[in-house]
A and B are shown apart, each in its own frame.
Chain A
Amino acid sequence: DADVTQTPRNRITKTGKRIMLECSQTKGHDRMYWYRQDPGLGLRLIYYSFDVKDINKGEISDGYSVSRQAQAKFSLSLESAIPNQTALYFCATSDSRRMNTEAFFGQGTRLTVV
């Protein structure tokens, strides 16, 4: 089983709909991140959380919200989806207890807004 699990893997939704992407992890890491990937732009940070109830905006947070109600879960919501939010979304985790840390990624959610 994957250490970082994202659901759904694929989703098509209509403009204006609210949608939630879920991420859960079994790594016991305290830090979690949501990234968006677009062709040619690499991975851009949407939101990140360093602990339960801790929420921080990344570079492209407009139009998104997140919730961290438990250490193992970090959900991303699009309040009113628009077509330019069509992208690959990745959740990642890292461990602050280690001085040097790596980020571990989920398998991604491909979201299409029509």
Chain B
Amino acid sequence: GQQLNQSPQSMFIQEGEDVSMNCTSSSIFNTWLWYKQDPGEGPVLLIALYKAGELTSNGRLTAQFGITRKDSFLNISASIPSDVGIYFCAGQSTSGTYKYIFGTGTRLKVLA
């Protein structure tokens, strides 16, 4: 099935560092979503992006909807231990079916 290319797959960072991850697709999307999943829990929505070029922030998180509508990135500034988890991107297709396509996730580990 169709999936987004999300990178990196995993990363270790020092507390206080900035983090960047991205997703790319061969398809155009109407909406880009970024989720965080803690162990044993369901994905929780962090940021939703609706227009090409849109840049949106949520606290220390910033995400952008790529101008080509085929990519998006998420930045986390000044990481803290509770940022640990798996981050997923998701795109909503333009085909009219309104299905969500998910990336394979970026596993973030923060070293105190």
CB distance from B89 to the nearest CB of A (A): 9
* Contact of B103 with A42 in the complex, beta carbons under 8 Å: yes
Say yes or no: A42-B102 contact (C-beta < 8 A), given A105-B44, A106-B42.
yes
Q: Could you tell me how many residues of chain B have their Cβ less than 8 Å away from some Cβ of chain A?
A: 28
Q: How many residues of A contact B (CB 8 A)?
A: 31
Main secondary structure of the interface of A (DSSP, over half): strand
B20 shortest CB reach to chain A, Å: 19
B104 part of interface (Cβ distance < 8 Å)? yes
Interface: A19 (CB within 8 A)? no
With A60-B1, A90-B42, A102-B45 in contact, do A42 and B98 touch (Cβ < 8 Å)?
Answer: no
Across the interface, do B48 and A102 meet the contact criterion of CB distance under 8 Å? yes
- Shortest CB distance B65–A (Å): 11
A-B contact pairs, 11 of them (CB 8 A): A35-B102, A40-B9, A40-B104, A42-B6, A42-B102, A44-B1, A44-B102, A58-B99, A101-B98, A108-B40, A110-B40
